[in-house]
Structure 1
Amino acid sequence: MIAETVCSAVSVAGLGIAAVTAYRKRFLAATRLAAYSLVPIGLVMTGVVGWLADTAFSVKAWAGFGVLGVAWLLFMTTRAVERRSVGTRKERKEAAKAAQREAVAPAASAPSLGQGARPAAKAEVQAKAKGKPKAAAPTEDFSDIEAILKKHGI
């Protein structure tokens, strides 16, 4: 009963302010004020205000809000734990792509992991062991850099 009276008073005051604004030749602002001031009386007429008043003073409704709060807290906690342990969705996709690339070209990432020697270094060792002079090798060996770039998909 009190809520309906307050909403009606707010609507009447808002319509009065809208009338004064229209008198000052600011019709767009007056129309906007009239629209805002009609909302409270519309809520009273539809019964929303009565429902809110009944909900505000209901112990059962507040217990329901408490249960919803606990559910939300549990949901957010599980999401936070999942994000900390597994990583982001982007990291999971990158890990899956890296595993797929590793299956396709396992030797591509071997130099970056420290497994085995570089192919040019193996050739030099074999050439020295056989006593043959090594072939004209380039002065700079970029095979390990190429392997790292391939590993990262570049």
Structure 2
Amino acid sequence: MLTSTVCAAVSAAGLAIAALTAYRKRFLAATRIAAFSLIPLGLVLTGVIDWLTDIVFKPSVWAGFGVLALSAVLFTIGRVVERRRGIGSRKERKAAAAARSGVVAPAASVPSLGAGHGAAQPAAKAKGKDKGKDKSAGGAPKDDFSDIEAILKKHGI
């Protein structure tokens, strides 16, 4: 009851200010003030104010909010402990994925490794053999591009 009276008084004061603003020929501002001043009265008439006061002044509602807060805290603590122990960590997931991938098709990539692996070995041998010869006075060795050349030859470029 008290909240309804306060809201009605706030609306009346807002409408009085809107009337004074309109008297000063600031009609757009007066319209905005009148619109804002009617909001508390509308909330009282729809029952929203009574609903809000029931929420604020009931101890059972506050107990419910306390239980929800406790639930959120427990959930957060559980997640923190789970991360510290490493349960479900990336390492475990990668190990499980590696174990599964080996069982499904262990020889699936052998042909692709065989062709590329053979082309990379001569490049590595040439790199080790010519390491001392190809260095210029202060530059990098000339065989730095041999790996790239081997890849391009492998792909027919």
Same fold (TM over 0.5): yes
Query: Gapped runs of 5+ residues in structure 2?
Result: 91-96, 98-107, 114-119, 131-140, 152-157
TM-score where L is the length of structure 2 = 0.55
Higher relative contact order (CA 8 A, sep 6+): 1
Structure 2: how far apart are the matches of 1:81 and 1:36? 49
> C-alpha separation between the residues in 2 aligned to 1:81 and 1:28?
58
Query: 1:80 & 1:20 partners in 2: Cα distance?
Result: 59
Deviations 1:10-41 (A, max 9, x none): 00001111111111111111111111111101
Match in the other structure for 1:30: 30
1:121 has 2:145 as partner = no
Percent identity, aligned pairs only, is 59
SS at match of 1:61: helix
Alignment of 1:65 onto 2:65: yes
Among residues 135, 141, 144, which one is paired with 1:141 in the alignment?
144
Amino acid at match of 1:7: C
Instruction: Give the structure with higher Rg (CA).
Output: 2
Structure 1 gaps, min length 5: 88-95, 97-102, 108-116, 129-137, 148-154
Change in Cα spacing, 1:30 to 1:77, as seen in structure 2 (3 Å) is farther
2:51 alignment counterpart: 51
Partners of 1:119 and 1:16 in 2: how far apart?
A: 94
Tell me if the contact between 1:120 and 1:141 (Cα under 8 Å) persists in the aligned partners: no
SS of residue matched to 2:25? coil
Tell me how large the CA RMSD over aligned residues is: 4.1
C-alpha contact (below 8 Å) 1:22/1:30 kept by paired residues = yes
Cα drift, residue 71 of structure 1: 3.0
TM-score, length basis structure 1: 0.55
- Paired residue for 2:4? 4
Q: Shift of residue 77 of structure 1?
A: 5.1
Contact residue 7 and residue 40 of structure 2 kept, 8 A: yes
| TM-superposed deviation, 1:79 | 6.2
Query: In 2, Cα distance between the equivalents of 1:37 and 1:70?
Result: 39
1:141 is paired with a residue whose SS is: helix
Q: Distance in 2 between matches of 1:56 and 1:140?
A: 78
